[in-house]
Amino acid sequence: MAASASLLKSSPVLDKSEFLKGQALRQPSAVSVVRCQPVSSSSLTVRASSYADELVKTAKTVASPGRGILAMDESNATCGKRLASIGLENTEANRQAYRTLLVTAPGLGQYISGAILFEETLYQSTVDGKKIVDILVEQNIVPGIKVDKGLVPLAGSNNESWCQGLDGLASRSAAYYQQGARFAKWRTVVSIPNGPSALAVKEAAWGLARYAAISQDNGLVPIVEPEILLDGEHGIERTFEVSLKVWAEVFFYLAENNVLFEGILLKPSMVTPGAECKDKATPEQVADYTLRLLKRRIPPAVPGIMFLSGGQSEVEATLNLNAMNQAPNPWHVSFSYARALQNTCLKTWGGRPENVKAAQETLLIRAQANSLAQLGKYTGEGESEEAKKGMFVKGYVY
């Protein structure tokens, strides 16, 4: 890991004071305007956020070499399902104990650059009374926050969904910034078996773009996440075709909303066959299709592509990421995993205090494996059978 450490030292890093809790809300300066005078009399007005420099710095910090994102922003209901799988009741005390285990893993910041939190966690303290945000900052991990309000049925569609949460988002984002968050996440989904309809794709793209603009206006780097669900029997070509369409719409509306590309991060799905497809893809095939998609749709100005795992096994997600980093890319290609980092850790813990150390070591093993994959140096040697088990759940609700 010496090479990784040296890379980290040279990467752009936010000063910890820049995302400490309690920092006073910055008063936005006057809107800056850039005017172009073409031959015609019309003028193009581009609005620049007063947080622009900080947004770019935060995005580069999260997209630093050998590091990725720990997604631990499960809603209380979803966290309850995880706890139930190990026989624990869904109480705030149990959620607090598990999240404390995750953020206090020694040396986690060597492999993890950002942690996405649920609102409860952003304001929560550890079992020892220390604020979770402060623990993350000490680990050199940038705190992030899930800001969407979940999926609801999209009227007029083919049984598809849209993501709610734009109402009140500006004031909530300002409060999250004051609490110490420096990036945000908004997850919407696209279903291939259900179409996807043009309406659903446009709604997903527009919602992401409005959220991104509002987030940047309040100092938060937006993670843009249109998850193309694994559900279905379709082949990898169909996933590729739908992904091209979705990302074309997303970037069109990001531009329409004057979003600063250098101050966003993406959280796409990898291009894989549907989970129920008989023809499985190798890591090399997944990398080939996914990188072709990115090169056709994602501007080099975007600092980081932080892939979601979407129900892949822990090892599968790591192998696919490693295959994408076998040659230089225009962007930092990394991970933003939830289940693919936490699954074995959760089962090792089992809710028992005496297992905390062993569970943290399991988390660090997974984090280090994905750190190596980000650097293109993961081999897959010595992985447990548990880490190889798939985690796809049909109709999964996050």
pLDDT digits (tens, 9 = 90+) for 366-390: 999 999 999 999 988 766 555 545 5
- pLDDT per residue as tens digits for the range 201-213: 999 999 999 999 9
Instruction: Note the pLDDT of residue 396.
Output: 46
* Lowest mean pLDDT across 33-47, 116-130, 317-331, 341-355: 33-47
pLDDT, the chain, mean: 88
Q: Which residues 6+ apart lie within 8 Å of 343 measured at CB?
A: 314, 386, 387, 389, 391
pLDDT category, 350, cuts 50, 70, 90?
very high
Confidence of residue 8 (pLDDT cuts 50, 70, 90): very low
Q: Which amino acid is at 194?
A: N
Q: What is the structure's pLDDT at 395?
A: 55
pLDDT at residue 16, as a whole number: 53
pLDDT for 14: 59
User: Can you give the pLDDT at residue 248?
Assistant: 98
Average pLDDT estimate for 208-231? 96
Is the pLDDT at 125 greater than 70? The verdict is yes
Residues marked as catalytic: 225, 267
In this structure, are strands 221-228 and 304-307 parallel, antiparallel, or unpaired? unpaired
Report the pLDDT value the prediction gives residue 311, as an integer from 0 to 100: 76
Average pLDDT on 159-167 reads 96
**pLDDT of 49 higher than 80:** no
Residue 41 above 90 pLDDT?
Answer: no
Residues 196 and 226 sit within 8 Å (Cβ to Cβ): no
Residue 3 has pLDDT above 60, yes or no: no
Model confidence at 47, pLDDT cuts 50, 70, 90, reads: low
pLDDT band at 50 (very low <50, low <70, confident <90, very high): confident
pLDDT band per the 50, 70, 90 thresholds, residue 23: very low
C-alpha span between 121 and 129 (Å, rounded): 13
The pLDDT value given to residue 2? 45
Q: What percent of the chain has pLDDT over 70?
A: 83
Q: According to the model, what pLDDT value does residue 312 have?
A: 81
AA letter at 360: Q
Instruction: State yes or no: pLDDT of 230 exceeds 60.
Output: yes
Q: Among 38-42, 108-112, 185-189, 247-251, which is the least confidently predicted range?
A: 38-42
- The two structure tokens encoding residue 279: 């023809």
Whether residue 22 has pLDDT greater than 90: no
pLDDT band at 397 (very low <50, low <70, confident <90, very high): low
Q: Tell me the pLDDT band of 299, cut-offs 50, 70 and 90.
A: very high
